[in-house]
Structures are given as C-alpha cells and as structure tokens.
Amino acid sequence: MSAAPAPSDNTWTSRFAFLMASVGFAVGLGNIWRFPYVTGENGGGAFVLVYMICAVGIGVPILMAEILIGRRGKGSPPEAMANVARQEGRSASWRWVGNLNLAAAFFIEVVYCVIAGWVLYYLFVSLTGGFTGMDSALAEARFGGLLASTGTMLFWTVVGLGITGFIVYSGVQDGIERAVRILMPTLFVLLVVLMIYNMFAGGFGLALDYLFSVDFSKINGSVWLAAVSQAFFSMGVAMAGMMTFGSYLPREISIARSAVIIMFADTLVAILAGLVIFPAVFQYGMDPAGGPGLIFQILPVAFAQMPGGYIVGSLFFVLLSVAAITSMVGLLEPLTAWLQETRQFSRHKAALTVVCSIAVLSIITVLNYSVLSEFRLFGRDINDSLSYLSDSIMLPLGGLLIAVFAGWGISKMSSRDELNMKSSGVHSLWYFMIRFAVPVAVFIILVTGVTG
C-alpha cells in the first residue's frame, strides 16, 4: 500500500526546529539521572572519554542511518522502510522493521507516561510548598503514598498525555515546532541557572570530581559495554521518532551535521544534569546511586534543607517536566503519522486515538504498583516485562536491523546522494561503520540484554 499524501505542514521550517525536536526526544528522564550516575561508577572522566568515542563511532552513524531512511522514504517508519527498499530493489517486507520500531515506541510510552505523571505531580508539590520541612521518612511516605493512590497517578498520567497529545494534535509546525522552540531553550537555560546556583551553594567540587576525575584503571570490557549501551539508548534510535522526524527534514539540511549536533547536545544536557543533581547529593550526604529514587525521594529532602530550596526544587521539576513532555512527543508522533498513513485518519483523529489508547493501557501500568503488584509474566511484574521487551529486545533488534538495512540494503551511491556529504572519505568512513562496527556493537547489546 502506498503512503497517503502528507499534510502540508509536515515539514520542518528550519534546521533549528528539527534539532530542538530531536534533542528533546533524545533527552529524557533517564538521561538526567542515569548518565551522571553511570559516569561516576565507571571511571568518571575516563568513562566520558570512552562514551564520546562510542557516541561518535556508534551513536552518530546509526542516528544518521535512521534519519536517512526517514527522509528518503518520506513516511512513517514502516512506509519509509518499504519505500526505500523498493527504490533499492529490495523486498518491501523491510516495513516490519518500522513496525517493530512503532511497537517499541508504543510499549515504552505506556510505561513512560506514568513516570512522567510522577514528575508532574512532584512539580505541583514543589510549587505548592510541599517540600518544606521534609525529611527522609516524609519523602519516602510521600512517594509511597503516590504509588498507593491509583487515582492520583491516573490523574497526572492523563495530564501528561493531555499536554503531549495537544502538541501532536496541533501538527508538526503549529504544534511540535512551536512547543520545542520554547521548551528546549527553556530546558537549557534552567540547567545553566541551576548549575550556577550549585557553584555557590556547596558540593560543586565534589560533583566535578565524581563526574570528571580520570581513573583509567577502571576502563575494562564492562565499561566499554556501558558506554556503547548509553550511546545507543540515549539518542533515541529504533524508537520510531528519529525516523519520523527525518521524514519531515528538507533536502538542503545536512543529516551528518545534524546528527553530530544532536549527539553533543544530548551529552551536554546529561553532563549539566549531573552538575545540577550531584552537588546537592554530596552537600547533604546522600547516596549518588539512588537511581529513580534519587529524584523522588532523595532530592526533595535536599530541597527542603537548602537556602532557596522552594525555587530550586520548582525549577528542577519544571526542567524534568520539559524533558518528559518532549520525549513523549517523539514517541506519540510516529504512531500518529502511521495512523494517518494507513487508516487515512486526520491528524486530529489519529492523535486522539493514540492518546486514548495509551491512556487506557496505562491503567494497567498504574495498577502494577498496587493491586497487580504480585502479578508476574515470566518472573517479572508487568512494567518490568514491558521494559525488558522494549529495552532489551525490541530496541537493539530494531537498531541492528536498521544498521544492516542502511549498510547492506541501501547502495553506497544512494546513501551518499541522500547524505550529500562533501567529502567522499567521510562518507566511506560512515559506510564502513554502519556496515561493520555498528551491527557488531548493537548485536553485543542485544545478546547482553537477552542473557541478562
């Protein structure tokens, strides 16, 4: 089936808009706490160096491949894959890679929207002075009370989906572009403001040491694997969003230059987030390995103790809310575009259908924290099962197939034409990486994830 004509506004008006949308999609809640934590545990500055090598050598090539397929295929991921396959004389069955990407985006969103709801709830709490006088026991009780309250979690989940859905409902230019032009600069400004605050509030030197002290003795196979995995997952590849955003990219915009900017911006946000979070953690003697609990149970206690904690806490959760919403937009948009193509839905009907479907299924995710907490699928609870399916199987498998298709299914001449690189040597390097290095690296991630 051929793709339905794309709505007239389905084109980015500038590279800035595309970059802001793509960086917003790549920068999620996991980046903001996971990258700094993984950095500190894996050699500090040495890990950052290894990560940058992996990001440039693995992350950028596969990101370029996904955007290339999207722009050349001009459609949602299944149609883009099928269209490019036909152009190259390959089987249109490659569309199933796009279907796999869409399924991963859907499952991720069902779980992620609930976590985004937690962030919005804590933003509300911070704005209403809820951290005043909070200690560890109260923070734990607050978070436990949230998990036990099905109604509260559902309400804030729906609020998050409503905001995201409205952005997607409004279109590429009138919705996504307008939103990211405001939200992403806001996110960067907030990060810088909070980092500057921490330079004077205490704990900043300890955070710098934690993140950037170079310990090359810690670099081993597991550190390289952690760096490769972080480079792969942090850029949002194989989640359908980048391919869909690529389909809206005008021909004159450089894919290679855009991919490099996205990678550096994504990394910069993660590092700045570490310089926002960890000074408070060290200043108040808290555990830097707190994971998700770091955000919802540990930092609120720090905000309650620090001077200006009301303002700092509120700004921090505004920052997290922006990261959550922009990531959700990147997950909802490809699903919406797919319904427009395959069912000839209007954008409004498609966006509403996707949002309502995810909202209904999110009820199961919410109940997983209460009445369904004892239910198990293959030894895991429902949320862990969905996360394992998407993160450990669907994403690396989808990324592996994208790399194989770009390297072996698309001719060197076609890829060079689409990438439009001025240097044949740079294109040859990319072509080598996407054919050999990237598939091997992603295959290792897939095998590691499946085998636990």
Q: What is the DSSP string of 382-410?
A: HHHHHHIIIIIIIHHHHHHHHHHIIIIIS
Which DSSP string corresponds to 108-169? Answer: HHHHHHHHHHHHHHHHHHHHTTTTTT--HHHHHHHHHHHHH-HHHHHHHHHHHHHHHHHHHH
The three-state secondary structure class of 231 is helix
At residue 36, the pLDDT reads 84
* Residues in contact with 384: Cβ distance below 8 Å, sequence separation at least 6, in sequence order: none
User: Per-residue pLDDT averaged across 184-211, rounded?
Assistant: 94
**Whole-number average pLDDT of the chain:** 93
For the stretch 409-440, pLDDT in tens is 999 999 999 999 988 999 999 999 999 999 99
pLDDT beyond 60 at 182: yes
Higher pLDDT, residue 137 or 288? 137
For the stretch 216-267, pLDDT in tens is 888 899 999 999 999 999 999 999 999 999 999 999 999 999 999 999 999 9
Residue 44: phi, psi to the nearest 5?
Answer: 60, -120
Rounded CA-CA distance 179/171 in Å is 11
Of the candidates 206, 208, 212, 288, the residue with the CA atom closest to the CA atom of residue 43: 212
The three-state secondary structure class of 87 is helix
For the stretch 257-295, pLDDT in tens is 999 999 999 999 999 999 999 999 898 888 887 766 788
Domains of the chain by start residue, with CATH = 15-451 (1.20.1740)
Rounded CA-CA distance 383/103 in Å is 15
Rounded CA-CA distance 236/327 in Å is 9
Least confident residue range of 143-157, 278-292, 349-363, 390-404: 278-292
Rounded CA-CA distance 299/316 in Å is 10
At residue 3, the pLDDT reads 45
Report if pTM > 0.85. Answer: yes
Least confident residue range of 19-23, 35-39, 338-342: 35-39
Residues 117, 156 contacting (CB under 8 angstroms): yes
Q: Name the packing angle between helices 438-451 and 395-404 (round to 10°).
A: 160
pLDDT beyond 50 at 448: yes
Q: How far, in Å, are 87, 142, 428, 431 from residue 421 at the CA level?
A: 20, 54, 10, 12
Residues shown for the chain: 452
* Residues in contact with 91: Cβ distance below 8 Å, sequence separation at least 6, in sequence order: 85
At residue 7, the pLDDT reads 40
For the stretch 340-377, pLDDT in tens is 999 999 999 999 999 999 999 999 999 999 999 999 98
- Could you tell me what percent of the chain has a pLDDT over 70? 98
Please calculate the CA angle 449-450-452 and round it to the nearest 5 degrees: 65
Rg of the chain, C-alpha, whole Å: 21
Q: Name the packing angle between helices 95-127 and 150-169 (round to 10°).
A: 120
User: Per-residue pLDDT averaged across 165-186, rounded?
Assistant: 97
User: Per-residue pLDDT averaged across 300-319, rounded?
Assistant: 94
pLDDT beyond 50 at 4: no
- Which of the residue ranges 28-37, 125-134, 142-151 has the most confident prediction, judged by mean pLDDT? 142-151
At residue 33, the pLDDT reads 77
At residue 294, the pLDDT reads 82
Using left for φ > 0, alpha for ψ between -120 and 50, and beta otherwise, residue 250 falls in beta
pLDDT beyond 80 at 96: yes
pLDDT band at 8; cut points 50, 70, 90: very low
Tokens of residue 390, six digits: 């998407």
For the stretch 69-94, pLDDT in tens is 999 999 999 999 999 999 999 999 99
pLDDT beyond 50 at 31: yes
pLDDT beyond 80 at 2: no
Residues 233, 399 contacting (CB under 8 angstroms): no
Rounded CA-CA distance 280/303 in Å is 8
Residues 105, 331 contacting (CB under 8 angstroms): yes
Write down the H helix ranges in 344-394: 347-367, 382-387
Q: Is the dihedral of CA 257, 3, 93, 90 positive or negative?
A: negative
For the stretch 98-119, pLDDT in tens is 999 999 999 999 999 999 999 9
At residue 1, the pLDDT reads 39
Residues 98, 76 contacting (CB under 8 angstroms): yes
